[in-house]
Amino acid sequence: MEAKRIVVKVGSSSLTDTHGNLDEKKLNDHVNAIARLKSEGHEVILVSSGAVAAGYSGLGYPSRPVTIAGKQAAAAVGQVMLLSSYANAFRRHGMTVAQLLLARQDFERREQMSHACSALSELLKRSVIPIINENDSVSLEELTFGDNDMLSALVSGLIHAEFLIILTDVNGLYDRNPNQYPDARRYKYLPDLPDSILSGISGSSGSKVGTGGMRSKLLAAKTALSLGVRTFIGKGKGSGKLVEILEGHGDGTYIGPINLRPSLKVSKQWIALHSPVCGKIEIDDGAVHALMEEGKSLLPAGVKKVIGHFLPGEVIQIVDQSDRVLGKGQVNYSSEKLNKIKSMPSDKAMNLAKSEHAEVVHRDNWVPWTVSIKLSATEGMR
């Protein structure tokens, strides 16, 4: 089998026992399966939930805490327990682990997102197993990533993975609730995730220790798909379960065609998914054609109107003269300077603005709305 870069997401319900405590047997089963993947030459990133579930009993809570403070305290205690268990389990296979705690803010800041990508790439290069979790102990909004489902999708795109495996306690997606309808049919393979399927799926979690549900996992799968990453949602047991999933024999649902387009560059992922929009630029028909049909950059000559106040480096929407949104881009000029140089030839505009940038928005910092809106709608965080 050709070596691949794979993200494996393990949910709380797949790590804990019936009382909500960390189940070492389950954890070791996942570790053995990941070690098997590594032994076959694959690169593996583990996105693991379970910190809150692992930590709350140690704080004296009879069940999972319901307050934000309680969950944050449980996460702080549980993260230590969780990583210690993973480190010990992987050490038996001669493997080293590293911990990365990420929050939504880390994706909203372009520089931090780039640093996270560089750190992950270096760890993989050194054959280390990165173990990623949301930074629950300091998050301002609890469970931002939906039991890490969305986090696993974003990480998959960030490091340009070929495959995302979401392990859960349900063997895939059904056309209706199999607990209520014995004749419910499981989807073995879906080339895409249409809104008709998403709208019929409940968002509730099927477990007392988990926070995501099937809808959360499907939204993550749709985001991963938009980023060029195929996804599997299901379950498995034993050291060969992940290999079986990769070979197409997994007990669950496969989502996405075998050959997907390459994922966006990290910089464009940030523009499309995470960047705040700080203003708007209206452009003429010639600039619309150059931008949308010829793949060119936006020059000052094509700018008709500047709306809002923004600074160089911020992200703006670009619209046509009918106010139809064309996409998002990182702008090289402030709104104040752009108002002075709009409709000018590039050389004259650069001299007047005393700038080295001929482009208002370079094509490398531009994402068409057909891509941006698709990703934003499926990303499920805003």
Single-letter residue type at 141: E
State yes or no: pLDDT of 143 exceeds 50: no
Q: With pLDDT > 90 as the criterion, what percentage of the chain qualifies?
A: 58
Are the C-beta atoms of residues 38 and 76 closer than 8 Å to each other? no
* 235: enclosing H helix or E strand: strand 230-235
Reported as a single tens digit per residue, the pLDDT across 113-140 is 999 999 999 999 999 999 999 876 665 5
Domain ranges of the chain: 5-263, 267-379
Sheet with 5-10, side-by-side order of all strands: 97-102, 129-134, 43-48, 5-10, 163-167, 230-235, 251-255, 189-190
In the DSSP assignment, the letter for residue 262 is P
Reported as a single tens digit per residue, the pLDDT across 288-334 is 999 999 999 999 999 999 999 999 999 999 999 999 999 999 999 99
Nearest to 283 by CA among 300, 306, 303: 303
For the domain covering 267-379, report its CATH number. 2.30.130.10
In the DSSP assignment, the letter for residue 298 is B
- Reduce the DSSP state of residue 291 to 3 states and report it: helix
pTM of this prediction? 0.83
- Reduce the DSSP state of residue 338 to 3 states and report it: helix
State yes or no: pLDDT of 110 exceeds 50: yes
State yes or no: pLDDT of 241 exceeds 80: yes
Q: How far is 229 from 269, CA to CA, in rounded Å?
A: 13
Are the C-beta atoms of residues 357 and 254 closer than 8 Å to each other? no
Comparison of pLDDT for 27 and 268, the residue scoring more? 27
Domain 5-263 bears CATH identifier 1.10.10.10 = no
The Cβ-side half-sphere exposure at 247, using a 13 Å CA radius, reads 9
* Distance from the Cα of residue 287 to its chain's centroid: 32
Reported as a single tens digit per residue, the pLDDT across 65-80 is 888 888 888 888 889 9
Q: What is the structure's pLDDT at 341? A: 94
Tokens of 118: 């560089």
In the DSSP assignment, the letter for residue 170 is S
In the DSSP assignment, the letter for residue 154 is H
- What's the length of the chain? 382
Are the C-beta atoms of residues 160 and 241 closer than 8 Å to each other? no
In the numeric block, the tokens 């709104």 are attached to: 335
**Phi and psi torsions of 131, nearest 5°:** -115, 115
Residue 17 banded pLDDT, cuts 50, 70, 90: confident
Single-letter residue type at 304: K
Sheet with 277-283, side-by-side order of all strands: 303-307, 277-283, 315-319, 325-330, 366-368
* Distance from the Cα of residue 245 to its chain's centroid: 21
CB atoms within 10 A of CB 306: 23
Angle at 358 between CA 357 and CA 362, to 5 degrees: 80
Q: How far is 207 from 14, CA to CA, in rounded Å?
A: 10
